[in-house]
Structure 1
Amino acid sequence: MMILQFGTSRFLQAHVDLFLHEARVAGQEVAPVTVIQSSGAPERAGRVRAFDDPAGYPVIIRGLEKGQPVERRVQVTSVARGLSVTEDWPEILRLFAHEARFVVSNTGDAGYATDPADAGLDAAQPARSFPARLAQLLHARYVGNGAPITLLPCELVNGNGPVLRGLVRDHAAAAGDAAPGFLDWLDRAVIFANTLVDRIVSEPIAPVGAVAEPYALWAIENQPGLELPCRHPAIVLADSIEPHERLKLHILNLGHSYLAQIWQDEARPPGETVREILADAGVRGRLEALYAREVVPGFAARGMQAQARDYVATTMARFLNPYLDHRIVDIAGNHALKVQRRLAAFIDWAGTPAPELTAIIERNLP
């Protein structure tokens, strides 16, 4: 049994992979992780190979817990090897078809985008898009032995599990080369868990490793037949993860994108961090006013006023963490797409007036 992880990000290194390591240290039987680089970016080749080191990699947890400064270093050894889609596809295909029990993914903000060039399920060459590639791999597994498998997507997409299931199923249904019974097997034997991840991972450590805050959450929505790769204090199994999802996406992530908008509009220093921009009393006041005037009232309309106020307070404390350097240039990547997912989706959900958020959405339309 093993865990396949699509994505080499520092976030996964300091979140899922760290949890798996800590669970193993606590005495649980935890399958090893094989990390797969999906992008094929040549500048990340060194990172992929660094995952082969049996000594593992460092994660530094730095920040405040209950108002007290903490710093601890963990040498994470849950990852056994690294592979690249462009260099190691036959081995990835073999592992997925015959050895994987769990699949974790974090393929970035555009990870669920499809590609018109992808067609069919023939796995001789990897598809370009992640959903089509996943359909290829699942088809190969079905043809090989059809063993059940659980997918734990960690992309910041509302309903990431159902969305990914729909994309994979649509691709498979449109393919003319699917084996008989494959779609039924997809529905019966493949679990696409709905999950939410929450942790600020501010800095990479070369070639592999990361610096992260103490706060961490991996909320996973329960469903029949769901199994988890480990137990951990930061893993919450819930009947519905929507409350966690809305708070994180429309307060913490929304706040990040709001600060990124200010940073872009005002041509602020290129290396400015969240903590540094909020040291500007004017910017901090604007963010706090946005939360009070437009965000919390939206949550109140959904019966979540108290939870939103508490989460705003927690979020501001995390933003002001004096021990993390979370650069806004990193947050600003794919800004227009994030504005749609974090701001526009909030307005659609809350249905309350939000003139400042609306103005930002309009400025970021194509």
Structure 2
Amino acid sequence: MTALPILQFGTSRFLQAHADLFISQAMAGGQAVGPITVVQSSGDTARAARLAGLVGGYPVRVEGILDGAQVRETITVSSVARSLSTASEWDEVVRAFVQDTAIVLSNTGDSGFAPQPSDTGAVFDQSMSYPAKLTLLLRARFAAGGAPIQIMPMELIVGNGAVLKARVMELARGEDAFQRYLEQDVTWVNSLVDRIVSQPLEPAGAVAEPYALWAIEDQPKLIVPCEHPSVQVVASLEQIEALKLFVLNLGHTFLVEHWQAAQGGPDVLVRQLVQDEAALTALKTVLSDEVRPAFVAAGLGAEFDAYVATTLDRFANPYLDHRIADIAQNHAQKVTRRIAAMLDWAVAQGDTSPKPVLTDIVARNKETT
């Protein structure tokens, strides 16, 4: 086995076209990383074909415009050596976690961290949240000798590593020795990921834009999963997080609101929306009038303007069929994380200018968040 075997929770098309692809390219270049064991944590039997299709090699189509040049290529991703399901193979997941894993990746969806009634149970229950399942696995590793391990959540949550650590520490309350292990021998990494992955391929694979970023916040004992042009180690994620969450992600969620209000069909694409004058004008207006003042207050006006231009180009990518209905999944949670969070962030930067459109969106979605 190579130097950095990875256990990955989540089978999303995003991971397929992002971390799994980067690690595949690093492995092909001779780097001592991988292979990846993918774990399906949802227990969704409808995704069994996808789970099996990840192993051995699957295609990722990269299509779009990069630096003014057309990019259309298909990359075979071969970093996944094995797949497991928590629902049917929990004992083997435990063994792999305890004995074979150096780095843990996760992307469990917008609701993956949400606490569940079963989370406090002492034995495995499939209905547990991802943090609760991770706590059981870390407890088993600790009991087996407590080898160090690195945990790298990739969920779109600000301070995702710190948030996940706090929840695991909460679930381990009263277990002093285990908590010391979690503090001293587990490296909890904050990271931010960015790539538009517009559609799945069957049984596995995806279509993605050329742009990609995996920004990883530096800290003592950090192990960088691989060297790759899209992987950046930064002193702080704050600026990148603000731009990503409050421009690109907020822009997507704002377009969902526009689409819902217009009662658009299920096959409407993001690029079609930004080709519509009314939708594009509404998006540009909310970004300039309600979002930009916060970035100006933070001293990031120039960075905001450049990122907005890049984002609008990405939204208009002529090759990606990015369905707005896909973005609309878990919409209320996304409003909380992207729009309500931006309103709070703006105040923290000293921006108290009125933001009526965004405030109204938060109010409309508050009852279901």
Task: Give TM-score scaled by structure 1 length.
Answer: 0.96
The Cα of 1:126 is off from its aligned counterpart by 5.0
Matched, 1:71 2:67: no
Superimposed CA distance per residue, residues 58-101 of structure 1 (whole angstroms, 9 cap, x where no aligned partner): 00110001122111111100000111110111100000011100
- How do residues 1-366 of structure 1 correspond to structure 2 at under 5 angstroms? 1-52=4-55, 54=56, 56-123=57-124, 125=125, 128-173=128-173, 178=175, 181-351=177-347, 352=352, 353-366=354-367
Q: Identity rate of aligned residues, in percent?
A: 50
The CA distance in 2 between the partners of 1:266 and 1:364, in whole Å, is 17
> 3-state SS of the aligned residue for 2:225?
coil
> 3-state SS of the aligned residue for 1:173?
coil
> 3-state SS of the aligned residue for 1:81?
strand
The CA distance in 2 between the partners of 1:318 and 1:279, in whole Å, is 12
The CA distance in 1 between the partners of 2:246 and 2:137, in whole Å, is 34
The CA distance in 2 between the partners of 1:111 and 1:127, in whole Å, is 11
Contact 1:47 1:207 in 2 (8 A): yes
The Cα of 1:319 is off from its aligned counterpart by 0.3
AA aligned opposite 1:143: A
The Cα of 1:51 is off from its aligned counterpart by 2.3
Contact 2:9 2:38 in 1 (8 A): yes
CA distance 1:233–1:46, shift in 2 (3 Å): same
> 3-state SS of the aligned residue for 1:158?
coil
The CA distance in 2 between the partners of 1:114 and 1:297, in whole Å, is 35
The CA distance in 2 between the partners of 1:81 and 1:289, in whole Å, is 47
The Cα of 1:116 is off from its aligned counterpart by 2.2
Contact 1:5 1:104 in 2 (8 A): yes
AA aligned opposite 2:331: H
AA aligned opposite 2:32: E
The Cα of 1:127 is off from its aligned counterpart by 6.0
The Cα of 1:27 is off from its aligned counterpart by 2.0
Q: How many correspondences in the alignment?
A: 359
AA aligned opposite 2:154: C
The CA distance in 2 between the partners of 1:220 and 1:193, in whole Å, is 7
The CA distance in 1 between the partners of 2:273 and 2:119, in whole Å, is 43
Superimposed CA distance per residue, residues 213-262 of structure 1 (whole angstroms, 9 cap, x where no aligned partner): 00000001011111122111111101101110110000000000000001
Q: Judge which range, 312-321 or 264-273, deviates more.
A: 264-273
The Cα of 1:336 is off from its aligned counterpart by 1.0
Contact 1:132 1:171 in 2 (8 A): yes
The Cα of 1:128 is off from its aligned counterpart by 1.2
Contact 1:121 1:139 in 2 (8 A): no
AA aligned opposite 1:79: V
The Cα of 1:172 is off from its aligned counterpart by 0.9
Superimposed CA distance per residue, residues 29-61 of structure 1 (whole angstroms, 9 cap, x where no aligned partner): 112000010111111011112223x2x000011
CA distance 1:348–1:77, shift in 2 (3 Å): same
Contact 1:89 1:126 in 2 (8 A): no
The alignment's C-alpha RMSD in Å is: 1.2
Contact 2:292 2:304 in 1 (8 A): yes
Q: Judge which range, 345-354 or 243-252, deviates more.
A: 345-354
> 3-state SS of the aligned residue for 1:146?
coil
AA aligned opposite 1:96: F
The Cα of 1:118 is off from its aligned counterpart by 2.2
> 3-state SS of the aligned residue for 2:43?
coil
Contact 1:39 1:85 in 2 (8 A): yes
* Gap runs ≥5 in structure 2: none
CA distance 1:59–1:194, shift in 2 (3 Å): same
AA aligned opposite 1:18: L
Q: Judge which range, 125-134 or 337-346, deviates more.
A: 125-134
Contact 2:43 2:126 in 1 (8 A): no
The Cα of 1:337 is off from its aligned counterpart by 1.0
* Gap runs ≥5 in structure 1: none
Contact 1:273 1:327 in 2 (8 A): yes
